[in-house]
Amino acid sequence: MSRPVIGVTCYVEPARYTVWETTAALLPYAYVEQIARAGGQPVVLPPAGAPAELVTRLDGLIVAGGGDIAPARYGAPRDERTGYVREFRDEAEFALLSAALDAGLPFLGVCRGLQVLNVALGGTLHQHLPDVVGHTGHSPAPGAFGWSPVRPVAGSRVAKALGDGPVDVPHYHHQAVDRLAAGLAVTATADDGTVEAVELDSHPFAVAVQWHPEAATGCELFEALVAACP
């Protein structure tokens, strides 16, 4: 039986490897490992050309983490702490997500991927979460995950994958959902009330989490995505 083809979006950033220092299309290898471990075949989708046209050739889609979305997309002025905005990536991923949702393609959003889903459907974002919750636990230090619990909503797809009780997960985000888009349901929260997972009720499998499951020990959410693939 062939592995479901899982497209996963990626970053475009300055990078250094072997003897080279150049702009690269890149993705933390943990995504690749988790998709393969869950039984999928990972295919990296750079934000170039027309990736939305590939939806018919995919079995599932992951919109990965990354820099902040341009606030103009949700009608807000840019906060000085909003950073690493790549508008060409916004353009590619919003088009890709729209095509995937229209096609009923199984979808998993990771960190930025949750924010793309919420904004694409008409929601807004807190541009700097510490101003809202009063602490930096969701992004404790540059390049370091913060581990803290989230509470899945019983009966949700997230709860079916991870269980109903509090689950410690790796966080690295300074933005989060402000106004929830119509059609989305909150399916996990942090102890401080931050929205940590959403699902699109009208879609066969559209789940997005604000944390980083690729950095977790288990691969349950990736398994759930692969299991939802035709």
Q: So which residues are the catalytic ones? A: 111, 212, 214
Does residue 164 sit in helix, strand or coil? coil
Sign of CA dihedral 158, 163, 169, 173: positive
Strand partners, 185: 199
CA angle 8, 81, 70 (to 5 degrees): 45
Contact 39, 18 (CB under 8 A): no
Three state DSSP letters for 89-148? HHHHHHHHHHHHHHHCCCEEEECHHHHHHHHHCCCCEECCCHHHHCCCCCCCECCECEEE
Please state, in angstroms and rounded to a whole number, the distance separating the CA atoms of residues 181 and 37. Answer: 32
Bridging pattern class, strands 60-63 and 5-9: parallel
Strand partners, 43: 7
Please state, in angstroms and rounded to a whole number, the distance separating the CA atoms of residues 215 and 200. Answer: 24
